Structure 1
Amino acid sequence: MKALTPHGFVPAETAYLFRHALLRDAAYQLQLPGDRARLHAVAFQLLKALCGGAPSGTRGGFRTHPSDPFAEELAGHAAAAETGVPDGKRAALAAAHRLYLRRAAEFSQFQGRPVNAIRLWRQLAELLEGAERGEAIRRSADLIGQFDHAGKAEKGFQEARAIGRATGDRRLEGRAVVGLAGVRTETGKVAEAEKFLGEAIRILKTCRDPHVLGVAYSSLASHFRQTGRLDLAVKTHREAIALLRRAGEGASTAVVLANLSQVHRERGEMKESERLLLRALAHHRASAQKRSEAIALSNLSIIYKITGRVQEATRAVEAAIAIHRQTGDRRYEGIALGNRAILFQETGRIEEAIRGHREALAIHREIGNRRSEGVTLGNLGELLRECGSANEARALIEAALLIHRQVNNRRSEGVALGGLAHLLDDEGRLAQASALEEKALAIHQEVGNREFQGHAIAHLATLDASQGRIDQARGRFREALQLHRAIGDSRMEGSTLCHSALLELEQGRSDASAEAWRRGIELLRGIGDTTLLRQMDAEMLAARSRAGLPPLDEAGGPVAREN
């Protein structure tokens, strides 16, 4: 029997002995040191030949090679063979050791095995000097920041930056400074992050490398989005895309397109957001970029949720979570779990939603993601408010607000103020609730958050109605509905129609009320929001009872009374 290799067949017994690690190592240990080194040299040459020879390296971006699944083994053979060959051949084996260790690190990263990749980059750094050593340290730090704890990456980026300065390698120095900016962003020090990004771009402009400069511009654009400066974010993302296209970097361009999609989503431009995200997702899949694919799927689930496509949202976020767990990406797993928890919340799966938010919160705290910790605290607080746990809800939303202000997350600050306004409304403190919601609305307008502008205006309409400002309430309901429809926010359109129906009923306009109600509950049923449906049904039933009117049937018409 023979075993198939990438370039032909070998006897199965031989393949088994060489591929089974324990048997292979035992066989080597039976040999004298010199013979053992020569066996490693033979194994290295055979395995390299079977894989089609040596790869060309990784300059110009990583491209897979048939030897990549065996790269770590090849590196081990090359290292073990160095002591058993003449001096003239040792340099070649040492170079092969470094080459295949680099390939193994790249391949582990490509396959989504970050822990293994970090270990291999660190091993490689010990074999290198100068700027090459600094780059291996930077690559390791980059993965630590993405997959472990941002704060733990600080030392590696600082070391890489120092090496870049000492060797005059401006490219290395600039990329390390971009990494330091990422650490500051994750740990909530956004002012320092912006200074680092400015420094990095000044350094990288001297390198005349559109790829690394484009990546730095992409980081700056994301920073602008996270701090609520959406017009600047759009402009800077487009500059990043132009640079990356000039560099021929399709994979990096797709990542920036996906990031730009988030800006359009936050501005309420759902069609453009979805278009860009689907383009990016197609590229991620075509180039087997699993991590980027999962991030895009999680963001796509948000668009589907907002626009009422619940089944599509569920499939997308479940697929994202599965990939993040496969690749070990804890940061984005936590974010995707939070997205799924909101989906559970809006489809009546309350216990699952609470568990999901708590699981996401634990991950954000574990890895030091302060921004996402604040967002999740606020989301959990809003859910508990809806469940009637006002005291716990207030504590969580206030804790979220503190973090939002520390990390300069203006968008989420506005959302949190709106949550506190709802709590005041629930307590009957209507004037205070209106004042706080007006502050929230001002922030939403400042950062271009059209989705939550609609939320705030709809809430202000109900507050106006409760305080007897009927004409103002009607105007605000119309304004909110325009925003909901422009964005495609089916849930909020349904909710606002139902609240406007309650207002019209109180004003004695039962026919107008029934028509608004019919359209509202139709939307809410379409997206499966059973919790909101129950709440609205109870409010309408009580309102019609007070007015001496029969209940409405499922179609929104009055139930016929028996004679």
Structure 2
Amino acid sequence: MTHTEDTYFFTHAVLQQAAYQLSPPSVRAGLHASAAELLGELPEPPAADIALHARLAREGVTQFDDTLLKLERHWLEQAATDAEQSYRTFDAIRMLERLASIQRSESPDQVGTWCRLASLLIELNRIGEALPLAERALEVAQQLEDLRLQADACSAIAAACRDGIRNAEAGDYYRRARDLFSQIGHKPGLVKVALGLAGTLWIQGNLEEAEEVVREACELGGDAQDSPTRAGAWMNRLGIVLQSRKFDEARDILKRLDAIAAKTTQPVLQMRLHSFRGYALDVMGESEPARREYTIAMALAQQTGNMAEVARCQTNLALLDAAEKRYAQANARHVAAERIAREQGDLRIAAYACAGQSHIACWLGDFRSGLERIHASIRIATQLGLGGITENWKVTAGLLHAELGDLDAASEILQNMNQPDTSLSVATRLAVLGVIASRAGDTDGARTLAAQAREHLPGSPYEVDPPAGRWIDMALALLG
């Protein structure tokens, strides 16, 4: 069996059957032997529990639910940890939800599980589920007067607030978590919180302060015993440095990550490092080295059974293919990524894959297919509450409606949406609305919108899908 939870579920079923004497004694003995053998293959098997089960079964005792519950909690914990460390987020959530349901109500163990569960839900942008759970965890942790649990809960609340409408609160919760982790001297927690705070500051536009905080995180994580902590700190710093276009510093950080990769034997960490290295090289315009890194990461993901990461790598490789105008190959990768992501239940990746298919259709002039695919992305993104990227995709949808002659639908989408999160998307939206206003006879309104669109265009050379380029040009022509 591939994963810990597979063995856990099978063994649990065997023990339940044996425990309640649904089989003859000879069969029961065989079931116990099989269960013990399976559990013995996993790390730290609860041998005492297995022995107790065997003794009670031999003695004909059938009611020992507490022991079964204890065993189930143990293996759910093991299975969830295994899934987390393998970056199989959906599997980890499934395990933790079951674990929380059988833990003592409002016990420290249950609150700790809530915090872990909230953090994983945030990874999938399921903020609507994560935030109430984290807030409940903080409330109970305060009643228990447990500083560690309070710190974990504050950190989870901050992460949930960071990408939503409560962004301003995120920094306060991260600072509160930092104070609590400092009180108990928990260095991994301090590193995690520093990275979260840096991300919040970056989102709020405080790039210099974000760099300072992430530098502190790297110093804290520099002597951490586990490679994932050190790697996580440097990967976050690299992400912010790349956003600042400081490519010389980015290459220095890549060397540090290479040193970590050379010393680790963990295929999952190697997968993450290769994937992130591919992203960094991609941002720096080194497409062929980026392609090699993504390909290695995808092979490692397949080796470790992380199909969600396989889908992510496929979308990244598809973007490289599209940039080189290898549209057929790019589209095939996006289609494969969508299929894998939907099979895994990772709708976020599926949304990006649909958007990638729309992008390719636009380049090929198939605007109807592009419109259908971008609406698929929007439906998923709205369901998940993805935020800014959803608005970018709405701009594309409005643009394609306009390109196909449905100006009413285009106007409705573009007027009834929130602000996109890229300047080019903002400019495209204003340009299309400007041209629509011009065709409706509102010359002054059209020129105002066109002027606003021009203000948002990037100063450096930029590339857009063909329809966006045409509508931007038409809007700028209104200014004379």
> Do both share a fold (TM > 0.5)?
yes
Find the aligned partners of 2:367 and 2:109 in 1 and give their Cα distance.
52
Deviation at 1:431, TM superposition (A): 4.8
Task: Find the counterpart in structure 1 of residue 211 from structure 2.
Answer: 234
Find the aligned partners of 1:162 and 1:155 in 2 and give their Cα distance.
11
Residue 268 of structure 2 corresponds to residue 288 of structure 1: yes
Residue 154 of structure 2 corresponds to residue 152 of structure 1: no
Deviation at 1:127, TM superposition (A): 3.6
Distance 1:20 1:164, change over 3 A: closer
Please list, as runs of the form range in 1=range in 2, the aligned pairs for 1:505-520 lying within 5 A after superposition: none
Task: Find the counterpart in structure 2 of residue 366 from structure 1.
Answer: 383
My pick for the range that moved more, 231-240 or 109-118, is: 109-118
Residue 109 of structure 2 corresponds to residue 135 of structure 1: no
Check conservation: 2:79, 2:95, Cα contact below 8 A. Answer: yes
The letter for the 2-side match of 1:107 is: D
The letter for the 1-side match of 2:374 is: H
Task: Find the counterpart in structure 1 of residue 309 from structure 2.
Answer: none
**TM-score normalised by length of structure 1:** 0.57
Deviation at 1:158, TM superposition (A): 2.5
**Could you list the per-position Cα deviations for residues 218-247 of structure 1 after superposition, in whole angstroms to 9, with x for gaps in the alignment?**
112222222333223322222223222332
Check conservation: 1:75, 1:101, Cα contact below 8 A. Answer: no
Task: Find the counterpart in structure 1 of residue 147 from structure 2.
Answer: 170
Task: Find the counterpart in structure 1 of residue 75 from structure 2.
Answer: 100
Q: Which runs of no fewer than 5 residues in structure 2 stay unpaired?
A: 3-8, 292-314, 320-332, 475-480
My pick for the range that moved more, 193-202 or 204-213, is: 193-202
The letter for the 1-side match of 2:81 is: E
**Could you list the per-position Cα deviations for residues 438-466 of structure 1 after superposition, in whole angstroms to 9, with x for gaps in the alignment?**
653xxxxxxxxxxxxxx444xxxxxxxxx
The letter for the 1-side match of 2:77 is: R
Q: 1:315 aligns with which of 314, 317, 327?
A: 317
**Could you list the per-position Cα deviations for residues 95-129 of structure 1 after superposition, in whole angstroms to 9, with x for gaps in the alignment?**
65543231122223345554443342234332457
Deviation at 1:209, TM superposition (A): 1.6
Residue 437 of structure 2 corresponds to residue 418 of structure 1: no
The letter for the 2-side match of 1:366 is: Q
Distance 1:388 1:199, change over 3 A: farther
**Could you list the per-position Cα deviations for residues 253-289 of structure 1 after superposition, in whole angstroms to 9, with x for gaps in the alignment?**
4345444444344444567668867986995995415
The letter for the 2-side match of 1:423 is: V
Please list, as runs of the form range in 1=range in 2, the aligned pairs for 1:149-548 lying within 5 A after superposition: 149-269=126-246, 287-288=267-268, 296=276, 303=283, 312=291, 315=317, 318=333, 321=337, 324-325=341-342, 327-335=344-352, 337-338=354-355, 341-342=358-359, 345=362, 350-382=367-399, 384=401, 390-400=407-417, 402=418, 411-412=421-422, 414-423=423-432, 426=435, 427=438, 431-433=447-449, 435-437=451-453, 440=456, 455-457=457-459, 480=460, 484=461, 491=463, 531=466
Find the aligned partners of 1:533 and 1:330 in 2 and give their Cα distance.
27
Distance 1:432 1:147, change over 3 A: closer
- Greater relative contact order (Cα 8 A, min sep 6): structure 1 or 2? 1
Deviation at 1:365, TM superposition (A): 1.3
Check conservation: 1:113, 1:327, Cα contact below 8 A. Answer: no
Task: Find the counterpart in structure 1 of residue 330 from structure 2.
Answer: none
Q: Which runs of no fewer than 5 residues in structure 1 stay unpaired?
A: 6-17, 56-66, 405-410, 441-454, 458-479, 493-528, 540-563
Deviation at 1:136, TM superposition (A): 1.7
Q: Tell me, what secondary structure is at the counterpart of 1:246?
A: coil
Find the aligned partners of 2:146 and 2:11 in 1 and give their Cα distance.
43
Find the aligned partners of 2:52 and 2:227 in 1 and give their Cα distance.
35
My pick for the range that moved more, 358-367 or 197-206, is: 197-206
Please list, as runs of the form range in 1=range in 2, the aligned pairs for 1:67-82 lying within 5 A after superposition: none
Distance 1:47 1:431, change over 3 A: closer
Find the aligned partners of 1:344 and 1:79 in 2 and give their Cα distance.
63
Task: Find the counterpart in structure 1 of residue 323 from structure 2.
Answer: none
Check conservation: 2:141, 2:149, Cα contact below 8 A. Answer: yes
Task: Find the counterpart in structure 2 of residue 45 from structure 1.
Answer: 36
Check conservation: 1:197, 1:216, Cα contact below 8 A. Answer: yes
**Could you list the per-position Cα deviations for residues 293-349 of structure 1 after superposition, in whole angstroms to 9, with x for gaps in the alignment?**
798499569738x7888x958625548946755653333443454456446545656
RMSD: 5.1
Deviation at 1:180, TM superposition (A): 1.6
Distance 1:532 1:143, change over 3 A: closer
Deviation at 1:424, TM superposition (A): 5.9
* Structure with larger Rg: 1
Aligned length: 414
Task: Find the counterpart in structure 2 of residue 552 from structure 1.
Answer: none
The letter for the 1-side match of 2:158 is: A
Distance 1:331 1:44, change over 3 A: same
Please list, as runs of the form range in 1=range in 2, the aligned pairs for 1:51-90 lying within 5 A after superposition: 51=41, 54-55=43-44, 84=57
Find the aligned partners of 1:226 and 1:435 in 2 and give their Cα distance.
27
Among the aligned pairs, what percent are the same residue? 17
My pick for the range that moved more, 109-118 or 193-202, is: 109-118
**TM-score normalised by length of structure 2:** 0.66
Task: Find the counterpart in structure 1 of residue 305 from structure 2.
Answer: none
Find the aligned partners of 1:346 and 1:225 in 2 and give their Cα distance.
33
Find the aligned partners of 1:303 and 1:285 in 2 and give their Cα distance.
27
